[in-house]
Amino acid sequence: MQFIDTHAHLFVDAFDADRDLVIERARQVNVCKIVLPNINAATLIPMMDCCARHPQICFPAIGLHPCDVTQDYRTQLDPMEAMAANPGYVAIGETGTDAYWDTTHFEEQERAFRQQLCWAKTYHKPVIIHSRESLSRNLEIVASEQDGTLRGVFHCFGGTEEDAHKIIDLGFMMGIGGTLTYKNNPLSRILSSVGLKHLVLETDSPYLSPVPHRGKRNEPSHLPLVAAFLSQCTGHSLEEVGGITTQNALSLFRLPDAGSPG
């Protein structure tokens, strides 16, 4: 049984002291692949260094995080398009919008998001969508841009059952991580009616650690805890959760087969 972490920022400072050990711990619990979504222009080199050091397990995505969008966002975003065309990048993202931290540049966030959705269509890549306090707006944007070729994942899904079915109707998947394990989260009930074929697993490391590690640094080795909780709330065996979500991730990101060397 193997797992794929479809969202982890292993290149950030939180892992500088033990990055290789973190990746080895992931391997030991059968986390066989990890997708690394970019954040901004400054994280490109650390991200690529991490992937170069661990090419069999770490796969980069290219994009500009909405929280790093400013009035002059194009100075960061435009140079990334050449990288978006490179087959070495498995996805566009992390992109989307964020209405939680600061909405000063929300219009710019939307424009940057649309530009990255255009890249996803042009270069035939999935898109990783951030939607904190802005899921409804992101659904509207994706619906307006969907031409039948857009695909991807709504990262850290935390919407309603209606939202889940809108995502499915758009041809997208939902990323499920540590928040699923938090007390009284209605997500466990919602996912029981959604079906595993629409889900991929993620950690969002170093953030959003699952119980019993909540409040501490998250890392990909915690992914089986999320899978186990998903197993409990959906009634599927852990083997089914691992197998189906792994195949979903392999297909979505067109990764090498989980059993291959990479």
Enumerate residue ranges in the chain where pLDDT < 70: 258-262
**The predicted structure's pLDDT at residue 258:** 53
pLDDT score of 260: 46
- Contact assessment for residue 262 and residue 8, using Cβ atoms and an 8 Å cutoff: no
* 90, 105, 138, 115: CA torsion to nearest 10: -40
Number of residues in the chain = 262
Q: Is 235 left (phi over 0), alpha (psi -120 to 50) or beta?
A: left
Strand partners, 60: 36
Q: Which of 40, 36, 27 is nearest to 66 (CA)?
A: 40
Q: Give residue 261's pLDDT.
A: 41
**What number of CA atoms fall less than 13 Å from residue 211's CA on the CB side?**
10
Cα four-point dihedral sign 102, 106, 112, 114: positive
Domains of the chain: 3-253 (3.20.20.140)
Q: What is the pLDDT of residue 257?
A: 80
Tokens representing 222 are 């915690």
